[in-house]
Amino acid sequence: MNIGELSKQTNVSKVAIRYYENMNLIQSIRQGNGYRYFNEEAKQRIIFIKNAQNLGFDLKEIRDFFNLELLESGSYQIKNKIQKQQHKIKEKISKLKSLEYVLSELDRACDGKMETKDCPILQKLYLAAKN
């Protein structure tokens, strides 16, 4: 399939497909007319890339998955990467919960009926910046 067909079938832009190819995440075959031809494996890899990105993995980490797949050294390292990602996500959730708490406190500090210059939210934000 050509790049346009691959783009439509995977819902990934042509620019992204070219980028994945430049990063050696997918491969194409150049035809005599200079056009790229992509096989089913390229399509499956793009689906893998999208799924992994949805789980928070960056392209370098995704390349590591592909390299581990080639090594066929067992699933331990793959499982380890998943566990590390899970830990990162838990840390992010914890930070987001802390931010949510601070925002709730700021929300409770203001009834929304006073003049802007007297708003305790702004005062608290200025205090936080000074500390």
Q: Domain limits of the chain?
A: 1-57, 74-131
Q: Tell me what pLDDT residue 131 has.
A: 55
For the segment 24-50, the average pLDDT, to the nearest whole number, is: 94
Helix axes 76-109, 120-130, angle to 10 degrees: 130
87-to-65, 83, 90, 98 alpha-carbon distances in Å: 18, 6, 5, 17
Q: Coil, strand, or helix at residue 89?
A: helix
The pTM of this model reads: 0.79
Tokens of 94: 């914890």
87 — pLDDT class (breaks 50, 70, 90): very high
> What topology is assigned to 1-57 in CATH?
Multidrug-efflux Transporter Regulator; Chain: A; Domain 2 (1.10.1660)
